Structure 1
Amino acid sequence: MIASPSVGYQHSTFLGNQVSVEDLSLLTDLYQLTMTACYAGEGVATKRASFELFVRRLPTGFGYLVAMGLAQALEYLQSWCFSSAQLAALQETGIFAHAPQSFWDLLADAKFTGDVWAVPEGTVVFGNEPLLRIEAPLWQGQLLETYLLNVINYQTLIATKAARIRDVAGEKATLLEFGTRRAFSPQGALWAARAALAAGMDATSNVLAALQLGTQPSGTMAHALVMALSAMSGSEDEAFAAFHKYFPGAPLLIDTYNSVGAAERLGKKVRNGEMELAGVRLDSGDLISVSQQVRSHLPTVPIFASGDLDEWEIQRLQAGGAKIDGFGLGTKLVTGSPVNGVYKLVEIDGIPVMKESPEKLTYPGQKQVFRRFNNGKVVSDRLGLVSESCENQSGLLQLMVKEGEFLQVPEQLSEIRQRTAASVASLPEKVRRINNPEALTVEISQQLDKLTKSTQSKRLAVTNHSVSQC
């Protein structure tokens, strides 16, 4: 079914396709709303249901994921509602002409009243392990799916990439997030900056993101300034001097014309005490060879590199002897292999349910992830039911919201960053490595295996009985 959007609503709140907080309840897939209307009509909308968000398989080349995006998910739940203008816009589409009045009543009074269990941001997770579980009336849990997947999938991808880059680059390297111009949207750019900082990056060039997060933005300059000022003054050095007039000692981009030549001239000024220099940036060329030559002229000045870098390229540069102290990460940080998280119903009205499609089987019932450590290192993960005991094992999912009441105080970015570092450090080397990593095998508990087989058997028995009645 296709219908034109409400012109009035479109012009009043979607001018320029900008999305406000008030619009987020409609930032969903149509089928979430049509299913909710069906639930309402069938009298099951308020039945208690449990949905779990997890990743079936890790992206190719990844040994782990770093959970991220929970803060934005909880903010969304706190403000989740439908305005009268939104309801009018939905009615004007004509799609819901046969929807029951109870559907409209639910939306008009919408407020999240359920429970949320989730792993804290910065926690390492693996395939089939829930990052989040919603326990709420069926209609609420259903309508939340699209936004929760959007915010958690993307930030988890960025956080994982950032954590891997930090792990490869080492603790001493300066890592800057430069991805705003390559992010998929302005909102995506803000989320990418947040996730990158929370997972190990030192700073972002995105001014809005930095100020919102209470950090200092960081950056250098572009080739345009060097070309513009040198063209008019006749000298690249004059361009550098002009920039330092207003930003004393700031890092300089030196590869506009001749990186080594610029470094040689700057080196003389630094040695003669004519200039203080916080760093130089290289954005092109053979970074191994060029950085070595630049280092010979600027032995005490930090050298930064940028230009389509990722964890594999940083590893190659380090192995080749590059003299680089910091890296600017952009395109390959904020894009790349998607985290294909899914959100599936696992229980309805106390009845465990599961999906049995080939290669897309899900496990029934409310679950917990039990992690076992030995001397601070992860030994094993066990996926089990929430009713199971966890002797000598810590349950990763924590209660964040109870009956609509938000229990946790929002965490500082520094806390999440520390958790990310500790989580990655606790993993075996074979899981952390970026070349042919081995993801930790997640054990399925006996109780969960038993419930899975029982759920399958009951469904098969019902199906066979229905067929025999035909």
Structure 2
Amino acid sequence: MTTLLDLDYVHKQQSQQNQELNFSGDDYSLLTDLYQLTMAVCYTGEGIEQRRASFELSVRRLPEGFGYLIAMGLAQAVEYLEKFRFSASQIAALQGTGIFAQASDRFWSLLAQGQFTGDVWAVPEGTAVFANQPLLRVEAPLWQAQLVETYLLNTINYQTLIATKAARLRDVAGEQATLLEFGTRRAFSPQGSLWAARAALAGGLDSTSNVLAALELGQEPSGTMAHALVMALSAIEGTEEQAFSAFHRYFPGAPLLIDTYDTIAAAERLAKKVNSGEMQLTGVRLDSGDLVTLSKQVRSLLPGVPIFASGDLDEWEIARLKAAGAEIDGYGLGTRLVTGSPVNGVYKLVDIDGIPVMKQASGKVTYPGRKQIFRSFAGGKVKADRLGLLDEIPLEEKPLLQLVMQEGQPVQPLETLATIRQRTTASVASLPQQTRRLDHPVTVQVEISAALQELTEETEKRRRTSGLP
């Protein structure tokens, strides 16, 4: 079987590999799927590359067990579009593959001189959204709108997943619980770990253990210790108690991990020191065992000391622990936060040169035309959403999609994490309880406007009369 990427090129490149596979903002334009470039070649060859195109990013269906999503990743999407350029060396690398031998000179000139010049509409980060609603729309020359698909899906799909998980965790744990993001070692990549930390904080968590992410975001990183420190110092200095004392010499009063050997025995020894005034202690962490039973026993021994739990926790496990009466004040969230059911966002053409278009494949139908989400409220709660055309008049509704970039430039200032987190909190609070629940959630009804329904029928009719299957 042959592929576009011939084996000779693969062999030639093996001696020139960048084994680190790191990238910077200068690499953004090449961080794409090959077919985006091959389509751009075709558009250019056919002379339609500058036609105005509109693509919308949406989710066909929510992940199983989810009643809503929290939109996230827009800040990184805007940053990417601002930096979208092809350097001379990148163009040379593409030419060197031999894949684009039939590409016209105009295609290469387009890459050399081009940058993103389009408009972007999006729902603000932290907004609750549902299936078949556009989280973002790109309106730009066809070649630009096409090439940016891969990166936009990457950042918005992943951060939306993490933000939604974080919002659900906060909703279940309650506002008083301390929620810490511990997922760096389980995230799908170093870059993914940074995005996960950001989305988790914006989605409702209090802090992250990722030092780079925290400092880049103007936050203070959080963490305690690992079992390795307790085992190493216990082995060398003699006892677990001495290990705790050694740690407190450098981090006075810091939370201690107490389940390396015997959790209750460790708590009893710490209680004596705390009660005698010999030790100040701001928390203990449990990472294994029966967290319900252990937390109750530790609470009886250390009544004034916050108890943190970790170890493959998620919103369902936190709900179970709370229902069972666990005495836990905070949770460290890792693996199940930064992994899990993917958000399967798609990026589809909805209008080309003023002509509405739609996909009609079985199970993958899209609505044509540039759209707006109109949200109505009753008693402070979301009543219904209406998916309509961009130029429709709101009917005592709030339009959700906002213009965030115009002619390639941002038109709104960058929002702080605190602002986005507040919006997330308000968005979740505005949802009906049946939409927020973990078991068999019922999503908010999304109505299709009469105008959009009419356009859909007209588009289908036009396709049939044109002779297309």
TM > 0.5 fold call: yes
Counterpart residue identity of residue 120, structure 2: V
8 Å Cα contact 1:9-1:85 kept in structure 2: no
- Selected match of 2:240 from 236, 240, 243: 236
Q: Which residue in 2 is equivalent to 1:264?
A: 268
Q: Answer yes or no: is 1:68 the counterpart of 2:72.
A: yes
Compared with structure 1, are the counterparts of its residues 10 and 389 closer, same or farther at alpha carbon in structure 2 (3 Å cutoff)? farther
Q: Answer yes or no: is 1:353 the counterpart of 2:352.
A: no
Distance, in Å, in 1 between the alignment partners of 2:379 and 2:403 is: 26
8 Å Cα contact 2:259-2:286 kept in structure 1: yes
Q: Which residue in 2 is equivalent to 1:57?
A: 61
Q: Answer yes or no: is 1:431 the counterpart of 2:445.
A: no
Distance, in Å, in 1 between the alignment partners of 2:225 and 2:450 is: 58
Q: Answer yes or no: is 1:313 the counterpart of 2:317.
A: yes
Distance, in Å, in 2 between the alignment partners of 1:119 and 1:339 is: 16
Q: Which residue in 1 is equivalent to 2:29?
A: 25
SS in 1 for 2:467: helix
TM superposition shift of 1:175: 0.1
Distance, in Å, in 2 between the alignment partners of 1:129 and 1:268 is: 58
Q: Which residue in 2 is equivalent to 1:342?
A: 346
Give the gaps of 5 or more residues in structure 1. Answer: none
TM superposition shift of 1:21: 1.1
Q: Answer yes or no: is 1:2 the counterpart of 2:5.
A: yes
TM superposition shift of 1:15: 4.7
TM superposition shift of 1:148: 0.2
| TM-score in terms of structure 2 length | 0.97
TM superposition shift of 1:8: 8.1
Distance, in Å, in 2 between the alignment partners of 1:443 and 1:207 is: 44
Structure 1 segments of 4 or more deviating over 4 A?
Answer: 5-12
TM superposition shift of 1:391: 2.6
- Selected match of 1:199 from 181, 191, 203: 203
- CA deviation profile, 1:151-176 (whole Å, cap 9, x unmatched): 00000000000000000000000000
Distance, in Å, in 2 between the alignment partners of 1:414 and 1:222 is: 30
TM superposition shift of 1:9: 12
TM superposition shift of 1:405: 2.1
8 Å Cα contact 2:255-2:285 kept in structure 1: yes
Counterpart residue identity of residue 431, structure 1: T
Q: Which residue in 1 is equivalent to 2:152?
A: 148
8 Å Cα contact 1:364-1:452 kept in structure 2: yes
Identical columns (%): 67
Q: Which residue in 2 is equivalent to 1:81?
A: 85
Counterpart residue identity of residue 2, structure 1: L
Compared with structure 1, are the counterparts of its residues 145 and 334 closer, same or farther at alpha carbon in structure 2 (3 Å cutoff)? same
- CA deviation profile, 1:62-103 (whole Å, cap 9, x unmatched): 000000000000000011000000000000100000011111
Distance, in Å, in 2 between the alignment partners of 1:110 and 1:333 is: 38
Q: Answer yes or no: is 1:418 the counterpart of 2:422.
A: yes
Distance, in Å, in 1 between the alignment partners of 2:380 and 2:272 is: 49
SS in 2 for 1:449: helix
Counterpart residue identity of residue 350, structure 1: G
Distance, in Å, in 2 between the alignment partners of 1:272 and 1:246 is: 21
Counterpart residue identity of residue 16, structure 1: E
Counterpart residue identity of residue 143, structure 1: L
Compared with structure 1, are the counterparts of its residues 436 and 366 closer, same or farther at alpha carbon in structure 2 (3 Å cutoff)? same
Aligned pairs, number:
464
Distance, in Å, in 1 between the alignment partners of 2:369 and 2:131 is: 17
Q: Which residue in 2 is equivalent to 1:219?
A: 223
Alignment of 1:154-193 (within 5 A): 154-193=158-197
Distance, in Å, in 1 between the alignment partners of 2:11 and 2:396 is: 57
Compared with structure 1, are the counterparts of its residues 169 and 134 closer, same or farther at alpha carbon in structure 2 (3 Å cutoff)? same
SS in 2 for 1:220: coil
Counterpart residue identity of residue 18, structure 1: N
SS in 2 for 1:76: helix
Distance, in Å, in 2 between the alignment partners of 1:102 and 1:31 is: 18
Q: Answer yes or no: is 1:443 the counterpart of 2:439.
A: no
Distance, in Å, in 2 between the alignment partners of 1:16 and 1:436 is: 43
SS in 1 for 2:466: helix
SS in 1 for 2:232: helix
Compared with structure 1, are the counterparts of its residues 28 and 195 closer, same or farther at alpha carbon in structure 2 (3 Å cutoff)? same
SS in 2 for 1:415: helix
TM superposition shift of 1:11: 4.7
Q: CA RMSD in A?
A: 1.3
Counterpart residue identity of residue 339, structure 2: T
- Selected match of 1:16 from 20, 35, 40: 20
- CA deviation profile, 1:289-320 (whole Å, cap 9, x unmatched): 00000001000000000000000000000000
Q: Which moved more, 1:77-86 or 1:14-23?
A: 14-23
Counterpart residue identity of residue 95, structure 2: Q
SS in 1 for 2:249: helix
Q: Which residue in 1 is equivalent to 2:301?
A: 297
8 Å Cα contact 1:9-1:89 kept in structure 2: no
Alignment of 1:63-142 (within 5 A): 63-142=67-146
Counterpart residue identity of residue 380, structure 2: G
8 Å Cα contact 1:47-1:349 kept in structure 2: yes
8 Å Cα contact 1:169-1:315 kept in structure 2: yes
8 Å Cα contact 1:176-1:204 kept in structure 2: yes
Q: Which residue in 2 is equivalent to 1:380?
A: 384
- CA deviation profile, 1:412-456 (whole Å, cap 9, x unmatched): 000000000000000000000111101112100000000001000
